[in-house]
Amino acid sequence: MLRLQSVISYRWVRLVITLLLLVGTRAQAQRPNWQTAMLLGGEKSNIHVQATTADANGNVYIAGYFDETARFGSFSLTSAGGSDVFVAKWSAGRFVWAQGAGGAKEDQARAIAVDGTSVYITGDFDSPAALFGTEKLNPNDGSVDVFIAKVTDVGANASFTWAERAGGKAIDRAAGIAVTGANVYVVGNFLSRSADFGSNRLSNAGNGDVFITKLTDVGGKGKFIWAQRAGGSLFDYAAAVVAQGVNVYVAGGFGSGTAAFGSFSLANAVPAGNGVLPDVFVTKLTDVGSSANFAWAQRAGGTGNDAATGIAISGVNVFVTGSFDSPTASFGPITLTSKNLNDVFVAKLLDNDPTFIWALRGGGTGDDAATAIAVNGSNLYLTGTFNSPVADFGRHVLKHDDEGKPKLGDLFVVKLQDGGSSAQFTWAEKAVNTQGLAAAIQGSSIYIAGNTQAPVNFGKQYISAIGGGSGSFLASFTDVVVQPRRPPGSRTRRRGHR
């Protein structure tokens, strides 16, 4: 009888503990509410936010391109013709400054990074003469070239400090930028047979190769230090970069049957010679000062169109996201199965053991893709666009709103919890007729930027239309992790007492 009571008591205690854990899990998975949302643009403007970042003081910076006149709060920028570059600072609920750059043709900023008062942007320009403050850049032989520029933020205003060009006689574009101290790393793709990065010249091995280059900010100018290429005989490109100390991590896609990353070779899932449809690549370089060495390279994907669009690091953890439309896509020992068209993927590798630890999919039967990732410790945030009638992210389901004939798809923001050897989605949120293109994190605040066709609701935050109703947005929310309640009658153990 005593034994039976003990068994019953044990089962009861276990049930109570399980219920408490479930309550705690539900509390921690509480979906946040949008806190701010604003429309960027003007009555005669076509504005596109391409990138965002935040500094340690809570300032948010955005970059992209616009035509005609663009408004950022009380600041207005007017293009010189075609589309021009913009970079702007938002702080404490308002825009503090905005700067434009470019020339008579098409110029775009595609990525942004910040370190202290230094704001760096990169992109491409095809204007015969593109002005970045007093700096004038001229493309090589009338082609589309890469630019890297520095803006010095002095608080209430800012100005361009320097601008550098890179590239060759064809189309060369930058896609990502990262900064650590005075070192600036830029990645992208070059179609030119040969492309110059300062005194460094890269030769193309095929129809488009990856480039990774380092500049040192020497105050009044940016100095190219080294440049590396990667790829094969077909089209290969880098989409994102992140840096930590001397370690540089790059992600993108390779369509070549075989792509070389230094001494490392990656094979496309499609047989050699039949490439074109890209596979995912993730690679690490070690910056040794005047040069860099590839430390490792990994591939993922299947027989369809698979590519990475974002990368983030937290300690020794490397996270990558993007989309895959292969029926099945391999991430090392893990296989993801697509529901139909493009699905979202997010995966984890370790810096010192670059094999995939886990990989998750999200989406539905339509065309869904992640475009950016931000990380805060073990918390991951993804944003992108879904067109599926129903998109699932683990047990969290988002329904596409097709009222009013949406043109852009619906935005999604999802959170994942990295548990080490596995991960799980903890919540999912959406906004209708909106594309999520960029994400940044500062403390518990998450900022999402992209394109929208107003009017649109971000939860209880309403954005009304301006002019034709198209433009870009900047929105934010605070993700507060609620700790599970202690059981009634429990005590907190004080240090020094038993």
Got the DSSP string for 351-392? SSS-SEEEEEEEB-SS-EEEEEEEEETTEEEEEEEE-SSEEE
Q: What is the pLDDT of residues 29-87, one digit of tens each?
A: 577 889 999 888 755 567 899 999 999 999 999 999 998 888 898 899 999 988 999 99
Average pLDDT over residues 167-177: 97
Element (H, E) at 348: strand 343-350
> Looking at 178-192, 388-402, 447-461, which range is the least confident one?
447-461
* Percentage of the chain lying above the pLDDT 70 cut: 86
Residue type, 386: F
Average pLDDT over residues 400-411: 70
Per-residue pLDDT band at 443 (split at 50, 70, 90): confident
pLDDT for residue 8: 36
Average pLDDT over residues 465-494: 60
pLDDT for residue 474: 93
User: What are the φ and ψ backbone dihedral angles of 12, each rounded to 5 degrees?
Assistant: -65, -45
Per-residue pLDDT band at 380 (split at 50, 70, 90): very high
Superfamily name and number for 33-478:
YVTN repeat-like/Quinoprotein amine dehydrogenase (2.130.10.10)
Domain residue extents for the chain: 1-30, 33-478
Peptide bond into 455 cis (omega under 30): yes
pLDDT for residue 470: 61
Average pLDDT over residues 418-429: 97
**Does the pLDDT at position 382 exceed 90?**
yes
Q: Distance between CA atoms of 388 and 99, rounded to whole angstroms?
A: 38
Q: What is the pLDDT of residues 96-117, one digit of tens each?
A: 999 999 999 999 999 999 999 9
**Does the pLDDT at position 239 exceed 90?**
yes
Peptide bond into 406 cis (omega under 30): no
**Does the pLDDT at position 498 exceed 60?**
no
Per-residue pLDDT band at 435 (split at 50, 70, 90): confident
Residue scoring higher pLDDT (1 or 225): 225
pLDDT for residue 29: 58
Please name which of 380, 318, 397 lies closest in space to residue 351, comparing C-alpha atoms: 318
Average pLDDT over residues 248-275: 88
Contact present, 345 and 305 (Cβ < 8 Å): no
Average pLDDT over residues 169-187: 97
Q: Distance between CA atoms of 238 and 65, rounded to whole angstroms?
A: 20
Q: Distance between CA atoms of 142 and 381, rounded to whole angstroms?
A: 40
**Does the pLDDT at position 146 exceed 80?**
yes
pLDDT for residue 468: 54
> Looking at 36-40, 149-153, 164-168, 185-189, which range is the least confident one?
36-40
Contact present, 38 and 98 (Cβ < 8 Å): no
**Does the pLDDT at position 493 exceed 70?**
no
| Integer-rounded Cα radius of gyration of the chain | 24
> Looking at 61-65, 410-414, 477-481, which range is the least confident one?
477-481
Per-residue pLDDT band at 15 (split at 50, 70, 90): very low
Please name which of 116, 126, 113 lies closest in space to residue 87, comparing C-alpha atoms: 113
**Does the pLDDT at position 28 exceed 60?**
no
pLDDT for residue 411: 93
Q: What is the pLDDT of residues 275-296, one digit of tens each?
A: 568 999 999 999 999 999 999 9
**Does the pLDDT at position 155 exceed 90?**
yes
Please name which of 113, 58, 115, 47 lies closest in space to residue 84, comparing C-alpha atoms: 47
Token digits of residue 331: 């991430």
Residue scoring higher pLDDT (498 or 251): 251
Locate tokens 């009861």: which residue?
12
